[in-house]
Amino acid sequence: MATTRNAHTEWEGELLKGFGEVTFDSSGIGHFPVNWASRAEEPHGKTSPEELIAAAHSSCFSMALSNILTKAGTPPTMLTTKAAVTFEPGPGITGIHLTVTGQVSGTDEAAFKAAAEDAKANCPVSKALTGTKITLTAALD
C-alpha cells in the first residue's frame, strides 16, 4: 500500500533576513522554526532542511538495516544511527555521512558492515538522494 506524508513551510521575507516555520502535517508532531542562519551558520534553536534530511535518512537507514539483519536471522537488539549532512552555501549539500553502531547477537563485524552497506545503498531515502555522496562507518558495540 502506498502512503503519502505531508509537511509544509510558511516563509516570510527575503532569504537572509526572513524566517519560516516547518509544520509536520501528517504526524501533527509540531512546528519547527527555520531561517538562513540556522542553515548556514549556527542553529540557535532552529532547524534546517539538512537537519530534516539527516533525521529522515538516519531513521530510514535504521529500519532498512534492521530488516536486513532480521532476514539474515540476526535481528538487532539496538541500532544507533547518526546522519551528518554537510551543506555549503553555493554548492549545496555536499555529502552525508552515516555512522551506525549495533548490538546484534550471532553476527560478526564483517557481516554487520556488509549489512550496513546494503542498507546504505538500498534504503528509500538513500535512493532518493542519488547523486549525493553518502559514506558510512559501521561497527558492533
On whether both 15 and 80 belong to a single domain, the answer is: no
- Whether residue 86 lies inside any domain: the answer is yes
On whether both 73 and 128 belong to a single domain, the answer is: yes
pLDDT digits (tens, 9 = 90+) for 19-50: 999 999 999 999 999 999 999 999 999 999 99
pLDDT digits (tens, 9 = 90+) for 47-103: 999 999 999 999 999 999 999 999 999 999 999 999 999 999 999 999 999 999 999
- Whether residue 2 lies inside any domain: the answer is no
- Count of domains forming the chain: 2
Closest C-alpha among 51, 60, 49 to residue 15 = 49
Q: What is the pLDDT of residue 117?
A: 98
- Whether residue 122 lies inside any domain: the answer is yes
Written as nine digits, the cell of 33 is: 522554526
On whether both 58 and 11 belong to a single domain, the answer is: no
d(CA 32, CA 50): 13
Q: What is the pLDDT of residue 26?
A: 98
On whether both 104 and 132 belong to a single domain, the answer is: yes
On whether both 63 and 127 belong to a single domain, the answer is: yes
Closest C-alpha among 82, 57, 78 to residue 66 = 78
Mean pLDDT of 113-141: 98
Is the Cβ–Cβ distance between 6 and 23 less than 8 Å?
A: no
Domain of 129, CATH number, reads: 3.30.300.20
Domain encompassing residue 26? 7-40
On whether both 107 and 58 belong to a single domain, the answer is: yes
On whether both 70 and 20 belong to a single domain, the answer is: no
